[in-house]
Every structure is written in C-alpha cells, then in structure tokens.
Amino acid sequence: MSRSFPNGFLWGASTAAHQIEGNNLNNDWWQLEHAAADHGVQFSGDAVDSYHRYQEDMRLLADAGCNAYRFSIEWSRIEPSPGKFSRAELAHYRRMIDTALGLGLTPVVTLHHFTHPIWFGERGAWLGDGAVDAFCRYVEQACTILDGVAWVCTINEPNIVAVNHGQQRRLAEGKEYQFVGALPDAEIGQALIAAHRAAAPLVRAATGAKVGWTVANQALLPAPGCESKHAEVQHIWEDMYLEPARGDDFVGVQSYTSQLVDDNGVVPHPDHPDNTIMGWAYRPDALGIAVRHTRDVVGDVPIVVTENGIATSDDSRRVAYTQGALTALHETISEGADVRGYLHWSLLDNFEWGRWEPTFGLIAVDRETFERRPKPSLRWLGQIAQANALTF
C-alpha cells in the first residue's frame, strides 16, 4: 500500500548549532555547562565538530535521498560583542547555505536555537532593556546571508526557552536545575513573542522567505474529568506560543511524546520498559495529536514538522517509531491539514542539551575521531523521501 505526500514535500533532518558545532564558548549554554556541572550538566566541548564537517554531514543526508536540511546559525559567533559582527562567521554560514543548495537540499535556517551571546545574558537576556532591539539587530545582519533560503525559523521552541531561562534563575538562586517538571516562565514567554513579532517582518522583507517559529508540542491529553485543567496547562505550555503564529507563513511542529493532564497538572511519564532514553513514553501517535491541535489553534497556517524523533540505541526501534509517526502524520493530511514537510530529529547523535547519552541521530558519530556512521534509519527515511510516499 502506498500513501503519497503532497508535491514538493520537504523530507530531511534537523540539527542545532550548539549541539553539533563544538566550542561555542561565547554563549550562555557553554556558560551554563560550567556553572551547573555540579548539578549533572555535562560539557559540550568539541560536540561532533560539525562546524568543520558540515559538508560531509549534508552530503550523507543528500546521498540518502532527502531534500531538506534544517540547521541553525549561532548568534554568539556572528555577534561576539554587542554591535560588533564577524564577517568571517557570516561567510561561514553562507557557505553552509551554498553547500546545501549545491547538494539539492532545501535549507531551513533557524536564527535562534536556544543559545545567545554571553553579553546578551549579562544585560538581562530576554528580560533586559533593549532585548528585542538587540535580537532584531542580529537578525538584520543574518538576513544579509540568507539569499536563496526559502524557509526561516526566527526562534526555536520559545516555550522551552522560557523553561530553560526559568531554570537559570533557579541556579542563580542556588537551587537545583530541574530536568523534569518545570513550566515555561510566562514573562520570558511574552518577551520572546515580542521578539518574534518584531523580527519576522524584517526577515520577510529582506529575503522573501517564508517565516515562522517552532513550538515544542506536548500532545497533552486530559485525564477523565480534567478538561478544564488540561485547557489551562495547554495554554501555558503551547497555545500562548501557537497563537502568535496565526499571521505567519508557517509554524513548526516539534513532537516526541504525549502526556496526560490531571487535576495536579502534567502527569509524569510512568516507568515502563518501552520508555525512551529520555524517560519519555513511546508515543509515535503523538505527532498526529500535535498536528491536529496546532491546526485547531493556528487555522490555515501551513505546518512543517521541524522535529520528530526518538532517543534510542536500537535503530530498528527508531524506524518503527518513525513509521508510526509518519502514518499518523499522513492521516492528518488526509483530514485536510496543510503539512509541507517532515524533518527528523536529529541528523546526528549529538549533545542533547546537558547530556550525551540520548541518541536521536540518523547518523552515529565517534566522539574521539568524529567518524560518521550512517544508520539504516537514514537510508530508510531517504527511500520514503524518494518515493514521497509511505510504502510500508
């Protein structure tokens, strides 16, 4: 049985600069890795050296049969000091764009993927005076290298940024860094919404690209009788960030698992042998839940699945999970959802924001030699991309 996807569908994978480049020593996450080492936060170091090996990474993706690559550019490299821009770094990211285009990969460029320059943090980060203006100044410079880029994400997962920065506040107060259970900080969230609303028109005017942002979709479901609490929590977690996307050219859906909401809030993932390395429930159907809810909130705004994947050391399980997720995605398209692409998380096994153990990649990497080892899942996804259809 074959189930086709729309013509021009984007098929590929995603990465984030700090997780793969290595030695981003001028951003807040590098700073956090040192400050929070006693709280179990690991060190990114060389990461997987994709700063120097991006051509090989992109070629492996293209050779497998995929047609799109989502990657981020690193603000702290481009603007290492306030108002001082690195032409060399801008040229580096331009070479990445040209490499993607030359390989037949549609570049999907993210301008902010969790990290910002240390100087921005020292000024109060997103709650500091002039934060939106500072971000827009950087965005204007980034636009000078985006010729030929058709898809631009301003900010990745602002709801998770609001969680992360809330946790940095906790560290500053001498409290433990929480990997589980934290909620987005609404004040930081509002600042991020303002930044997106200011930056998106600048990108659109300067480049003609389709512009949006991506949201971490929780695929939350109400426990019986808990519909009111579910709506409250869903607004805090997602809808506050989906609603500003109603005027955008697209919105990115990023989905991994699903959880219940009861009268006490989000129910932690129960221990189960099927849980992923992240401790998350194995829920390939979450992608369908996430896309349907996003469509309900944003209306007819096109959707791109900008992240979806599983942390597992068993690549056959990765294939099974992705097969389930794509089946659920195809069902939403059959129901009328305007979905334009699927970008798997992640192209590479990488630094998973404080931990090295979770392996999400379609490609394994030897962290000593940096040798790339494509997994069978990469070839499998490429075959689907070539057919532009589910053939299983």
Domains of the chain plus CATH, in order, are 2-384 (3.20.20.80)
Stronger pLDDT, 176 or 25, i.e. the higher one: 25
pLDDT at 293: 98
pLDDT at 266: 95
Task: Say whether 331 is catalytic.
Answer: no
Q: How many Cβ atoms are within 10 Å of 245's Cβ, its own excluded?
A: 24
For the segment 358-378, the average pLDDT, to the nearest whole number, is 98
pLDDT at 378: 99
For the segment 253-265, the average pLDDT, to the nearest whole number, is 97
Q: Is the pLDDT of residue 377 over 60?
A: yes
Sign of CA dihedral 295, 300, 306, 308: positive
For the segment 273-298, the average pLDDT, to the nearest whole number, is 98
Q: Is the pLDDT of residue 362 over 70?
A: yes
Q: Is the pLDDT of residue 231 over 90?
A: yes
pLDDT at 39: 74
Q: Name the catalytic one among 74, 79, 89, 157.
A: 157
Degrees (nearest 5) of the Cα angle 221, 177, 236? 30
Please give the mean pLDDT across all residues of the chain.
96
Of 347, 346, 328, 343, the residue nearest 390 (C-alpha): 328
1 pLDDT band, cuts 50/70/90, is low
Sign of CA dihedral 43, 154, 301, 193: positive
For the segment 343-358, the average pLDDT, to the nearest whole number, is 97
| pLDDT tens-place string over residues 337-350 | 999 999 999 999 99
Q: Is the pLDDT of residue 177 over 70?
A: no
3-class secondary-structure state, position 216: strand
How long, in residues, is the chain?
A: 392
175 pLDDT band, cuts 50/70/90, is confident
Helix (H) / strand (E) containing 12? strand 10-14
**What percent of the chain is predicted at pLDDT more than 90?**
91
pLDDT at 166: 79
- d(C-alpha 265, C-alpha 182), whole Å: 11
pLDDT at 335: 97
Q: How many Cβ atoms are within 10 Å of 274's Cβ, its own excluded?
A: 9
Given a contact cutoff of 8 angstroms between Cβ atoms, the answer to whether 204 and 236 are in contact is no
Given a contact cutoff of 8 angstroms between Cβ atoms, the answer to whether 161 and 224 are in contact is no
For the segment 142-149, the average pLDDT, to the nearest whole number, is 98
pLDDT at 236: 96
pLDDT at 90: 98
| pLDDT tens-place string over residues 106-119 | 999 999 999 999 99
Stronger pLDDT, 257 or 178, i.e. the higher one: 257
Using DSSP bridges, classify how beta strands 10-14 and 68-72 pair: parallel, antiparallel or unpaired: parallel
pLDDT at 176: 77
For the segment 378-387, the average pLDDT, to the nearest whole number, is 98
pTM, entire model: 0.97
Given a contact cutoff of 8 angstroms between Cβ atoms, the answer to whether 276 and 294 are in contact is no
- Strands, DSSP E only, in 55-173? 68-72, 106-112, 151-156
